A and B are shown apart, each in its own frame.
Chain A
Amino acid sequence: MVFTLALRNLLHDRVRLAVTLIGILFSIVLVAVQLGLYLGSSRMITANIARSNADLIVTTFGAKSFEDGGLLLGDRERHQALATPGVESVVPLVVAFAEWRKPEGGSSRVVLIGSDADDQGLLPWGLIQGTVEDIKAPDAIAVDSTYLSELGINGVGDTAQAGGGRVKIRALTEGIRSFTQSPYAYTTLNRARQLLGADDDKSTFLLVKLAPGANITAVQKDLAHRLDSADVLTKDEFESRSLKQWLFRTGAGLALIGGAILGSLVGTVIVAQTLYSSTKDHIHEFATLRALGSSRGYIYKVILAQAGLSAIMGYVLGMAIALLILYFSRNSSLPLVMTPGLAFWLFALTLFMCAISALSAIVKVTKIDPATVFAR
């Protein structure tokens, strides 16, 4: 009966229900978009690190992000790393910004990634045209289809100038977005060095694979000790370093999280308002319930059920709209991301919001004097 009464109370005033649901919906959509952007950004920032085939990553000392490594590691470091006990393989990886000259004139920037297919270090994924083999060809390069027009090209077969040389599009990927808005361009290790004008032993990162049974922490320590001008990070460490750089040093992440907090506050206030006014309207019924002998807890349950039902309805609607926005953002350069985890937390947040909102209504019914039932 608690739920029946709660539901009927809600449906009794459709306008108020609509306001409540719009309040929750607004909140959910706002929070979902903000957090979806946050997640989307995080994924973009960490995608290449996550895809790297490595247990440990050696970077130049103090490299703040994947794009910030420079080209300072050489054969000396590679051999030192290889000589470290527990290390099975060390694969060099080149990552650097390079100027991109469009065939029709004009220029922009790309992040050039050089890695050899045979090394299995870091290869483009989500290929929709061409293969990893195709990228081995001289001058070959792979870019993401999202950025074709930005790069001034039409597709496979087109040529452009990257850094100090000519490149030819041999493969296209889908879904490799760049948070810096400079597209990633994948080529071979040596071609990347050439284009960037670097010595042929230089690299930005060394991707270290451990021998079976090796202790990762011990090897990390040992490597750090031997390579005093480099940082040795696990993938997780490097990912969080990159996130810190792009999301927090730039303030972008704070803006997104701030937006999410604001969204939930606004939602809470709206729901609190409508729930309070609904309780006020039904106060005589609550007094009757009390006169009939209901405990206070019973009445709280009715109010919490009203809050909970609003939360569920608002969440479903809000999620539907958020997923719609997500769908339309899928081909944009900053797609939203929704995960089951985020969906769960959004639901928890909605319930929490509505529970907080119920407080003022609960305070109101606590003060009910059942004697008012006779005063009518």
Chain B
Amino acid sequence: MTTTPVMQAENIVKELGAGAGLVVAVKGVSLELVPGELTLLMGPSGSGKTTLLSILGCIMKPTSGSIRIADTKIDGLSAEELAKVRREHLGFIFQSYNLFPTLNAIENVRIALDVRGVKGFAATSRSEEVLREVGLGHRLTNYPRNLSGGEQQRVAVARAIASSPSIVLADEPTAALDSENGHAVMALLSRIAKEQHRSVLAVTHDPRTLGYADRVVRIEDGRIVGEERRPEGIDSPEITDLTKRRKLHA
């Protein structure tokens, strides 16, 4: 199955800090994301994963390099124009969920639709729909403080997919979760990629997540050092255990 990439990043370089504290966090990364795939971005702490994710997510501007999203070049766009690209194409999931503590589950999803101009009944019913999709149909009006970590992260997943973005970016989505919840969230991300034909990129440290990946990209010291792909034809992540093929990075 050949698919056109929804995102193409070419030769991304990012310098952070200034003067003596200058760090080149990303040193010429090229990466493509295609629909229907869950890609994991793995690498040691400080290797530039979050920085790269922020750049791919149009939240941070690269020092050099170019990014295309849905065949549109986003280089040189203003902050407001980048916000528009995020609204139209991207969904985000954060390590610490970043839910609004004063809004309940449904409102937390609704606000992501609200900033996109989707309001009223359409917004409410869509929010309910995605919360049901992530298995939270019984927690619609709970506030974050009354939800478990796993449930909170599932609200965040619902929020990320509510506007049907073509790309979902997640930074350490399971880092704050126990094993069971971690698996549940990864299964969800994999399902979102497959069933909804989205491109999902998740930064992770967590070897438990490997089993869900279609593709694993390895980054070290700001450079991509390797890439593995699940053999075609096998579509149950439980069967394909990439951890068994870890010879590349022992």
Seen from chain A, the residues whose Cβ lies within 8 Å of a Cβ on chain B are 1-2, 4-5, 8-9, 11-12, 284-285, 288-296, 298, 370-371, 373-376
Task: Judge whether A374 and B111 touch: CB under 8 Å.
Answer: no
B83 on the interface (CB 8 Å rule)? yes
Known contacts A2-B114, A284-B98, A374-B54, A293 near B86 by CB under 8 Å: yes
Task: Judge whether B95 and A294 touch: CB under 8 Å.
Answer: no
Least CB distance, B194 to chain A, in whole angstroms: 24
Contacts of A294 in B (CB 8 A): 83, 87, 115
Contacts of B59 in A (CB 8 A): 291, 370-371, 373-374
Considering only CB atoms, which chain A residue lies closest to B89 in the complex? Answer: A293
Task: Judge whether A291 and B92 touch: CB under 8 Å.
Answer: yes
Least CB distance, A370 to chain B, in whole angstroms: 5
Q: Considering the complex of A and B, which 9 residue pairs feature the smallest CB-CB distances, nearest first? A: A293-B87, A8-B102, A293-B86, A294-B115, A1-B114, A288-B98, A371-B60, A374-B50, A370-B59
Task: Judge whether A290 and B83 touch: CB under 8 Å.
Answer: yes
| Contacting residue for A292 out of B50, B86, B102, CB 8 A | B86
Contacts of A2 in B (CB 8 A): 114
Q: 18 A-B contacts, Cβ less than 8 Å apart? A: A1-B107, A1-B110, A5-B103, A8-B100, A12-B102, A285-B100, A291-B86, A291-B98, A292-B111, A292-B112, A292-B115, A295-B115, A296-B79, A296-B83, A371-B60, A373-B92, A374-B171, A376-B94
Contacts of A373 in B (CB 8 A): 59, 92, 94, 98
Q: A84 CA to B150 CA in the complex, in Å?
A: 95
What range describes how many residues of B lie at the interface? 20 to 34
User: Which residues of chain B from 79 to 106 have a CB within 8 Å of any chain A CB?
Assistant: 79-80, 83-88, 90, 92, 94-96, 98, 100-103
Contacts of B85 in A (CB 8 A): 293
Contacts of A292 in B (CB 8 A): 86-87, 92, 111-112, 115, 159
Task: Judge whether A4 and B94 touch: CB under 8 Å.
Answer: no
Task: Judge whether A293 and B116 touch: CB under 8 Å.
Answer: yes
Task: Judge whether A293 and B103 touch: CB under 8 Å.
Answer: no
B187 on the interface (CB 8 Å rule)? no
Q: A327 CA to B90 CA in the complex, in Å?
A: 59
- Report which residue of A11, A294, A374, A375 has the largest number of chain B beta carbons within 10 angstroms of its beta carbon: A374
| Contacting residue for A293 out of B60, B95, B115, B119, CB 8 A | B115
B188 on the interface (CB 8 Å rule)? no
Least CB distance, A292 to chain B, in whole angstroms: 5
Task: Judge whether A376 and B111 touch: CB under 8 Å.
Answer: no
Assuming A291-B92, A292-B159, what are 7 further A-B pairs, CB within 8 angstroms? Answer: A4-B103, A11-B102, A288-B98, A292-B87, A295-B80, A295-B84, A371-B60
Least CB distance, B199 to chain A, in whole angstroms: 17
Contacts of B114 in A (CB 8 A): 1-2
- Report which residue of A1, A2, A4, A376 has the largest number of chain B beta carbons within 10 angstroms of its beta carbon: A1
| Contacting residue for B102 out of A5, A289, A290, CB 8 A | A5
